[in-house]
């Protein structure tokens, strides 16, 4: 299945900032690096239950259905770059 068939228009989505909070950016970055919710929770000092909530919110805001689709968007927005700028909003 192509990304466009999956409902992902990367050219359109990359032209504007991600509509995510600072913490959602952090969770998305960890998710895109392949970390489990449990590992993300440990890295960010929050519960796995909280991570699950963030992941659901990220999927909704990005209009995706799974981790792979979210990871593709994260990569196209440079979130996997260790020196990527951190968002400043809440």
Helices 48-62 and 37-44 pack at an angle, to 10 degrees, of 110
Does 1 have pLDDT greater than 50? no
State pTM to two decimals: 0.76
- Write down all domains in the chain, each with its CATH number in brackets: 18-76 (1.10.10.10)
pLDDT tens for 11-67 read 445 556 788 999 999 999 999 999 999 999 999 999 999 999 999 999 999 999 999
Which of 78, 82, 66, 74 shows the shortest CA–CA distance to 27? 74
pLDDT of residue 59: 97
Does 6 have pLDDT greater than 80? no
Chain centroid to Cα 75, Å, comes to 9
pLDDT of residue 9: 53
């Amino acid at each position: 299945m192509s990304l466009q068939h999956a409902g992902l228009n990367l050219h359109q989505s990359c032209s504007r900032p991600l509509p995510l909070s600072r913490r959602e950016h952090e969770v998305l970055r960890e998710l895109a690096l392949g970390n489990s919710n449990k590992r993300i929770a440990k890295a960010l000092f929050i519960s796995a239950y909280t991570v699950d909530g963030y992941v659901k919110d990220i999927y909704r805001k990005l209009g995706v259905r799974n981790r792979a689709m979210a990871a593709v968007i994260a990569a196209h927005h440079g979130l996997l770059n260790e020196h990527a700028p951190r968002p400043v909003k809440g």
